[in-house]
Amino acid sequence: MAEPAPFLTDIWYFAMPSAALTRGGMQAKMLLGQPLLFARGNDGAPFALRDICPHRGIPLSCGRFDGKEVECCYHGWRFDGTGGCTAIPSLVPGQEFDLARIKVRRYALAEAQGNLWVWMGEQEPDGPPPQMPDMEGRAPNLTEVMEFPCHVDHAVVGLMDPAHGPFVHQSWFWRSAKSIHEKAKAFGPAPYGFAMKRHKPSSNSAAYKLLGGAPETEISFRLPGIRTEHIVAGRHRIVNLTTVTPLDANRTEVTNSFYWTLGWADLARPVLRRFVRRFLGQDRDVVVLQQQGLRHDPTLMLIKDADTQARWYYQLKNEYGRARDEARPFVNPVKDTVLRWRS
Ligand code: FES
Ligand SMILES: [Fe+2]
């Protein structure tokens, strides 16, 4: 495996839950090594700008936001939600200055199903951000955010890796290393990714039994790092969305959200939250340990079939970048396959 590839661009990244950006509020956030300023106007509309004042480079987020315009804290230049400059206080009457010449870069932002997605790229968005099935008009019932101190590739590969479960996620109520057994799952291509086709979860997923009815689940992954688990249990639906967003080369934000249609699950929220934190924490802790070895730039391995999904991730990423560079349609490299592994 070579050096971590640069970040994918011209694609939607999960930015933050909608609730993190209040009306009239602003927030600075590094994404893909770029400083961004997120704000939500008094009218409720969110926007994202490059968080650098074009005058002398100070972060715009150091200034003030009045719910309509951002005012730089240095010389008071003002910018609206499109990034256009609206005022330069130092100008005296008669000093000709075309404010329209001054622009802060604006990033396309989309708000859907309780989340904010940002388009990181030079081109305009090619469509809406990923949609969660069965959850139109809903927002997540539970969201947990955790920072992993690693490059995005290691976070994605670590989260999709099926063989680490019995070792990293050991616990009395979930599973142990002794519970390892052989699995065979059918996979196929999906938009900008792949899916583990709809199936009944394996018997060691005891938590699913809480749902009542015979649950069926479909797990899909799409670039740049979006995993969706769609569970159908009787008349109920659950969607677990995991997004992996690079903050910079060595920091990655993992956000895990649940949407559900079960009323009683709201009561179980504190317990579920602890469970999610513990589970994600186990994934993060192992990544922290992994960094000790990665510092020495070792050659790594991807073996069949347990690491095939990781291999697909790298293939998908390469193809996405190449298709864009060559201005041609994306060709999904994943074929229908049954993968077998013990976990
Ligand atoms: S640096 Fe922002 S107004 Fe001068
Ligand atoms: Fe894990």
pLDDT above 80: residue 184: yes
- Measure 328 CA to ligand 2 centroid, in angstroms: 35
pLDDT band at 176 (very low <50, low <70, confident <90, very high): low
Question: If you take atom 3 of ligand 1, which residue's CA is the nearest one?
Answer: 75
Is residue 6 domain-resident?
Answer: no
Indicate if 150 and 206 belong to the same structural domain.
yes
Q: Is 58 in the pocket of ligand 1 (CB under 6 A)?
A: yes
Indicate if 213 and 268 belong to the same structural domain.
yes
286 is written with which tokens? 């192992």
Q: Is 254 in the pocket of ligand 1 (CB under 6 A)?
A: no
pLDDT band at 318 (very low <50, low <70, confident <90, very high): very high
| pLDDT tens digit sequence for 296-317 | 999 999 999 999 999 999 999 9
Kindly state the average pLDDT of the residues 169-182: 74
Kindly state the average pLDDT of the residues 200-220: 70
**Up-side HSE of residue 31: CA atoms within 13 Å toward CB?**
28
Query: The CATH number of the domain where 65 resides is what?
Result: 2.102.10.10
**Whether 335 contacts 312, CB under 8 Å:** no
Is residue 268 domain-resident?
Answer: yes
What is the 3 state secondary structure string of 189-246?
EECCEEEEEEECCCCCCHHHHHHCCCCEEEEEEECCCEEEEEEEECCEEEEEEEEEEE
Indicate if 58 and 185 belong to the same structural domain.
no
Is residue 129 domain-resident?
Answer: no
Range of the domain at 87: 11-120
pLDDT above 60: residue 323: yes
**How many domains would you assign to the chain?**
2
Ligand 1 atom nearest 60 alpha carbon: 2
Domain finish residue from 85, 120, 155: 120
How many whole angstroms separate alpha carbon 39 and alpha carbon 81? 8
196 is written with which tokens? 């583990």
Is residue 127 domain-resident?
Answer: no
| pLDDT tens digit sequence for 235-294 | 889 999 999 999 999 999 999 999 999 888 889 999 999 999 999 999 999 999 999 999
| pLDDT tens digit sequence for 51-96 | 999 999 999 999 999 999 999 999 999 999 999 999 999 999 999 8
